Amino acid sequence: MERKYPNLCKPIKIGNVTYRNRMFSAPMGGTDITNDGCIGPKSTAFYELRAKGGAAAVTVSECMVHPETDGSHAYHLDTTILNSLAAATYTADAIRRHGAMPSLELSHSGMYAGTYMTDKSRQHSMNQWGPSDCVRPDGVPVKALTKEMLADIVQSYGKVAGLAKRAGFEMLMIHGGHGWLLNQFFSPYFNKRTDEYGGSLENRCRLAIGVLKAVREAVGPGFPIEFRLSGSEFIEGGYDLEGGVAIAKQIEPYIDLLHVSAGTYQRGFGDTHPSMFKPHGCNVYLAEEIKKHVSVPVATIGGLGSPEQMEEIIAGGKADIVYMARALLADPFLPRKVTENRDQEIVKCLRCFTCMAERAATSTRRCTVNPLIGREMEGCEIAPAPVKKKVLVAGGGPGGLYAAYTAARRGHQVILCEKENALGGILKSEQALPFKHEMYELAGTYELLARKAGVEIRLNTEVTKEYAEKEQADALIIAVGSKPLVPPIPGLDGPNVVIVNNYYLEKEKVSDDVVVFGGGLAGCECAIHLGMEGKKVHLVEMRDVLAPDANVRHRPLLLKEIDKYVTVHTGYRGLKVTEEGIICADKDGQEHLVPGTSVICALGQRSRTDVVDELRDAAPYVAVIGDAAKVSTITNAVYWGYHAALDI
């Protein structure tokens, strides 16, 4: 057959190993790391799903090589730990049996040991070791590693590498980026040593080269060794791209693949993991430049997921391999869909950071658009229902669409009704915000999948109790969503007011001087968009904080954008909307006019409980999902819809 993306689908040989395509699964930490650092069965299933989905390599992350100086709660590979080697072996086998090559990321956190611990007080009570004596920005003291300790760390890399090979891993990634130990030695920002490990470029690369030599000795010739490097640290006092090129040339003789990432994790999360506010592939230029100076294959990463863009990267010689992490959470089968010319079926990553926020907050994994993530052991295949039933879904938002899609895959007769003339529910409003276009596109992708699964979709059709009873469905899934909250504030119904949900329909009504009324997530994102368009934007919020409903990873990046584009008024209670703006009262009761000739009302949503109450007895089995049950997130709407369909 003729591949639509021939360069992306072309095999590549690294060392003595041939990889089936150029799409690799980037390092992602597991979810059920045992207390002694073993890979838990949920994590094994987590990695296996990406192998089933067609990735050429799947990287297990992170294996900390030296517990004596790095007590991070991550994987350890040590024969003194019961089940450690066995767990690694089962994981490597789970990846390899699907044709993907298992890789293990070997790492040391250096002065940021314990970063992934849920209990941060334990992290701060640990001894932190780095290149030099210093005090971290959060006040934690760091001790300089001695030469004896460095020699022991180098030896431990070799020891763990040998165990990884024994376990069945067929590639190793040495983590030298993102502000971890090897990066700390590369970086003039972190490394203030005056011995043979500091000062000159050669000295700053000495530890990494020693590590690579020890790993090579342990795994032998032909075994692929990959090195992960930040092409630029993006921090004042750190190294830039020119420095990244120089480091790459130093380590090239000891590696088979150079993986070019970006940034210093502790000071540039949004650089290392490009947010929705940045262009896809914004870090590719780093790999492209470094590739000009080395002869080994080069991999790139950072907000990638579009087959068209990734094909252009490979075809244009910017990199030899593309890595994806979040994109393969959103759709683990993205590589197979690419190779099988089914790219229209790819569920795109929203870059919403739900996946990383859950790991930080609860030490679990979850994906907004894929309810399987973190719960792969519960089963990834949709089993046919023993008894086929008629299922009616009321509402064509993300939850309703995913519920219909799931029910149809189980073999049920599924009818989805949407009272408006287009599917998507609240997602329709996202089409007006360019940085959230993937969220708007999600409805179209879910619709395509639902139709291909056999769902009958009826637009301009409201499900009333009479309608549902006439259809005589065996099951009814109520996904009617929510409606905007518009309190009885004088003037809020005026001609200069646009409800945030309707902004995409009424953009022409919005002037160049705007007040966004409501500082939750929706209001903040709309305010950022308006500011990006060049409008003068004021934001009014009654609470003291903005966007408390944003997750812990997205919120800091969101607030940075707010600082760029928006004048913020917190602690202001809106009293009256006028043609000149909003009259507000501060905490002392003093009144102020926040100026703007247009007002965007973004005061939240309210569940359509009246519709839910009407439909509760309209079928033998009734499930209420998404905002109809509780104003929440797309994540919950999709997850609840998926399980409502499984329960029929």
| Phi, psi angle pair for 538, to nearest 5° | -110, 145
| Residue 435 scores a pLDDT above 70 | yes
512-532 pLDDT, tens digit each = 999 999 999 999 999 999 999
Distance CA 191, CA 201 (A): 11
Q: How confident is the model at residue 127 (pLDDT cuts 50, 70, 90)?
A: confident
pLDDT at 116: 63
The model's pTM is: 0.95
Rounded average pLDDT over 580-598: 97
Structural domains for the chain: 6-377 (3.20.20.70), 384-484+607-646 (3.40.50.720), 497-603 (3.50.50.60)
Share of the chain above pLDDT 70, in %: 98
| Residue 16 scores a pLDDT above 70 | yes
Q: How confident is the model at residue 124 (pLDDT cuts 50, 70, 90)?
A: low
Q: List the one residue out of 408, 12, 370 whose CA is nearest residue 171.
A: 12
If DSSP codes are grouped into helix, strand and coil, which group holds residue 41? helix
Residue 222: exposure state from Cβ atoms within 10 A (0-12, 13-18, ≥19): exposed
71-110 pLDDT, tens digit each = 777 899 999 999 999 999 999 999 999 999 999 999 999 9
172-225 pLDDT, tens digit each = 999 999 999 999 999 999 999 999 999 999 999 999 999 999 999 999 999 999
Q: How confident is the model at residue 278 (pLDDT cuts 50, 70, 90)?
A: very high
Residue 282: exposure state from Cβ atoms within 10 A (0-12, 13-18, ≥19): middle
Query: What percent helix, strand, coil does the chain show, rounded to 5?
Result: 40, 20, 40
Tokens of 502: 């309707």
| Residue 40 scores a pLDDT above 70 | yes
211-227 pLDDT, tens digit each = 999 999 999 999 999 99
Q: How confident is the model at residue 35 (pLDDT cuts 50, 70, 90)?
A: confident
If DSSP codes are grouped into helix, strand and coil, which group holds residue 612? helix
Rounded average pLDDT over 268-286: 94
Q: How confident is the model at residue 487 (pLDDT cuts 50, 70, 90)?
A: very high
Mean of the per-residue pLDDT values of the chain: 96
Per-residue HEC secondary structure of 79-126 comes to CCCCCHHHHHHHHHHHHHCCCCEEEEEEECCHHHCCCCCCCHHHHHHC
Q: List the one residue out of 145, 149, 162, 148 whose CA is nearest residue 106.
A: 162
Q: How confident is the model at residue 269 (pLDDT cuts 50, 70, 90)?
A: confident
| Residue 434 scores a pLDDT above 70 | yes
pLDDT at 243: 98
544-578 pLDDT, tens digit each = 999 999 999 999 999 999 999 999 999 999 999 99
Share of the chain above pLDDT 90, in %: 92
